[in-house]
Structure 1
Amino acid sequence: MQHSKRSLMFAAAASLLGTTTGAGAHGDEKHPKKAGPVRKEQKDWGIAGDAKAAKRTIDVRMLDTMRFTPDRIEVRQGETVRFNVHNAGKMLHEFVIGTKKENEAHAALMVKFPTMEHEEPYMAHVPPGKSAQLVWNFNRAGEFEFACLIAGHYQAGMVGKLIVAA
């Protein structure tokens, strides 16, 4: 009886360790995009937009020089914009909309956990030579930024200014 209790406890502990060690680290494996509707969560910089409501498309290029073109974007409060984001470089880049504070915190996390993956409607991971699209409704006025938060890219200056005029 004592031996089976000990085996059961060991098996339970091993299964718990197995579920926590892989959490948050995805390595290089590719994950399929989630099917279904985009999660609309209000952020300080707006909310996920409906593609049918987008009246303007803004093309953004990401470069291995750690720069965006353009590096400054102006929109009006209430405007829904479609971003066509093209990675013109040879390394992975991303386009993330947020506040300076949010992006700084997220960039610091990416340095600690460089293989961390995430999928939010205000961010796009774009492999070299590929393009991605995101649609965002800027329902809050203010100064925000778009950035690449891949480890070291934000710190190297891969950030642009986003002005939302009231």
Structure 2
Amino acid sequence: MKKTFTILAFSLLPAFAIAAVDHSGHGMQGHDMSSMPQTASAVGQPGDPANVSRTIEITMDDNMRFTPSNIQVEAGETVRFFIKNVGQVPHEMVIGSIEELKAHATEMLAMPGMEHEEPNMITLQPGKVGGLVWQFDQPGMVDFACLIPGHTEAGMVGKVEVI
């Protein structure tokens, strides 16, 4: 049964993504994730894949940009982000408030080589694809960024407007 589910899940991804889905993180050592959302918060909560209302494709590149970098969703909506790293270096997408993202970026600068795998973040090696499912609970602005040292500072940030 599990094998059938896996095949069905992959049938929802574009054909080019099947061999390249990366769930491995970035191979860095562990660290404290207490500053990042683990459950429901002002930025939302991990979403149930069965309740996804739409998929939003995002690319990450070595110009330190997300495309698109501004997204609009409805309050209560559960979205699947289908993310591809088209660059030559690792990139990540982390969902959180700007305060949470800044605090976590500071941790990453202080402890290079961190490893993390949380529902609000994904790290992808060059050429890899992956996804996040997130439910946006309440109206407002939600931020996302690449917290690999130097990437946020170079402008690798984005916003989700929840209406």
TM-score, scaled relative to structure 2: 0.76
Task: Please name the residue that 2:116 is paired with.
Answer: 118
2:145/2:152 contact within 8 Å kept: yes
- The equivalent of 1:82 in structure 2 is 80
2:46 maps to 48
Matched, 1:143 2:141: yes
Alignment check: 8 A CA contact 2:27 2:115 kept: no
Query: Pairwise CA RMSD of aligned residues?
Result: 2.0
Match of 1:41, as an amino acid? T
Q: Equivalent residue for 1:65?
A: 63
Residues 41 and 29 (structure 1 numbering): CA distance in 2 closer, same or farther, change over 3 Å?
A: closer
Aligned with 2:87: secondary structure? Answer: coil
1:106 to 100, 104, 128: 104
- The reply on whether 1:155 has 2:153 as its aligned counterpart is yes
Contact 2:84 2:128 in 1 (8 A): yes
How far did residue 52 of structure 1 move?
Answer: 1.1
Shift in Å, 1:30: 9.2
Q: Provide the residue aligned with 1:10 in structure 2.
A: none
Q: Which amino acid aligns with 2:69?
A: D
Deviation at 1:42, TM superposition (A): 1.2
Other structure's SS at 2:106 match: helix
Separation (CA, whole Å) in 2 of partners of 1:40 and 1:79 = 18
In structure 1, distance between residues paired with 2:80 and 2:88: 24
Q: After TM superposition, where is structure 1 displaced by more than 2 Å over at least 4 residues in a row?
A: 27-31
Deviations 1:23-58 (A, max 9, x none): xxxx94699xxxxxxx96112200111111001000
In structure 1, C-alpha distance between the alignment counterparts of 2:38 and 2:97, rounded to whole Å: 17
| Identity rate, percent | 48
What secondary structure, in the 3-state scheme, does the structure 1 residue paired with 2:103 have? helix
> 2:89: which partner in 1?
91
In structure 1, list runs of 5 or more residues that go unmatched.
1-26, 32-38
The structure whose RCO (Cα within 8 Å, separation 6+) is larger is 2
Any unmatched runs of 5+ in structure 2? 1-25, 31-36
Whole-Å separation in 2 of the counterparts to 1:110 and 1:126:
16
Bigger-Rg structure (1/2): 1
Q: TM-score, normalised by structure 1?
A: 0.75
Distance 1:114 1:29 in 2: 8
Q: Which amino acid aligns with 2:115?
A: E
Q: Distance in 1 between matches of 2:29 and 2:81?
A: 23
8 Å CA contact 2:56, 2:79 repeated in 1:
yes
